[in-house]
Structure formats: structure tokens, C-alpha cells
Amino acid sequence: MPATYTFDVFSSLDGFGSAGGDWGGYWGKQGPELLERRLQLYTPACRMVYGANTFRLFERFWNEIADNPEVEDPWGIAMHEQPATVISTTLSEPLDWPDAVLEREDALCVVARLKAESAVPLRSHGSLAMNHSLLAAGLVDFIQVTVFPVLTGRNGASPVFAGVDDYDLELVDSRLLDGSIQEFTYRPTRHG
């Protein structure tokens, strides 16, 4: 049976994956239930899949964490310790990551092969452009969106689903975390 692939992303209510201004990480809304849930998601064995831009962002974050170890959450450590596949034609080895493999092929070929060969589920946090392509190719089994209770119309960046095709979404799980954060897991099917 092929491994499942989950596109995992954070979003403001108005659909932005991040925000400038003074919002900060998690839009300043994280709580103990969110952090525990994230740890539950990233503690079991899985293989992370990153596009180049998201990998650069996480790599920079981890290089800076040595100076600020108190800012890292246990779930981030668990995610960092999972084996990873980084899909990029612009990065070069060695990658500054504990267990990462660089793949230079097209993401569609790499993920199709990983789904066929992997003994563990595949997860990707962020990597919007790559995951939009994978979604269009029918390679995304689940979209997991954690919606934070904010509107970031002025400072919002990285629209999470801008430019994707039309999809029907089957809700397979939902959770309320810390009384205000919603986590939704959907199975996507192209509409029409």
C-alpha cells in the first residue's frame, strides 16, 4: 500500500501562511494544546518533504537556534529529527540537517516514488508552491490546515491556496485547540 502524503500548513482565517508586522510566530496565539497536538503529529515515524524555499527558512532557523535555544518547541525538534527529502535544483550538498537527502528531480517524480517506496507516512509543512503542484497532480492525500484566530489583511503574506484549482474537500478530522485554534484535516478531490 502506498504511503500517504499530508500537506500540513498554518493559516490565518483570511488564508495567509505568515504575516509581517508585529505578529510573531503562531500569530502570538499558541497554547499548550496546540503545542501538544503538534508534538503528537511529529513524534511518530514519518518522512518530511521540503521544497527549497521552506528548507532554507527552516535551515536558517535551526542555525540561529543555537543562539536562542529557549524559543524552540518540542514539536519543532521532533520534526527536525525526522528523516527528510529536500527537493531542489538550487541547493547543494552537504545539507545542514541531521538526516536529509537532496533530490534534484521534479517534485512530482520524487513524491510519486516516495509514496510507492516509503514504509512511513510523508508529511510536508509549508512548501506552498511545491505542494500546489503535488495537489494538482493528485499526489496529496490529506490537507491539514491549522487556522489561527486572526485576520492579517494588511500584513498577511504567502496566501496558502492562491492559484490552486477547484477541489471538493472531505473533512476527515477536526479539533479545537486552546479554545480558539481550529485544526482541519481534509481529503481533497478535484472538483468537476
pLDDT above 90 (res 39) = yes
pLDDT above 80 (res 17) = yes
CATH code for the domain defined by 3-166+177-182:
3.40.430.10
Say what the pLDDT of residue 69 is. Answer: 66
For residues 92 and 161, what is the distance between their CA atoms, to the nearest angstrom?
A: 29
For residues 105 and 124, what is the distance between their CA atoms, to the nearest angstrom?
A: 17
Which range has the worst mean pLDDT, 52-66, 89-103, 171-185?
A: 52-66
pLDDT above 70 (res 71) = no
DSSP label at 9?
A: E
Question: Which has the higher per-residue pLDDT, 138 or 1?
Answer: 138
pTM over 0.85: yes
pLDDT above 70 (res 149) = yes
At 92, is the pLDDT very low, low, confident or very high (cuts 50, 70, 90)?
Answer: very high
Q: Is 188 helix (H, G, I), strand (E, B) or coil?
A: strand
Say what the pLDDT of residue 70 is. Answer: 55
For the chain, first and last CA: distance in Å?
27
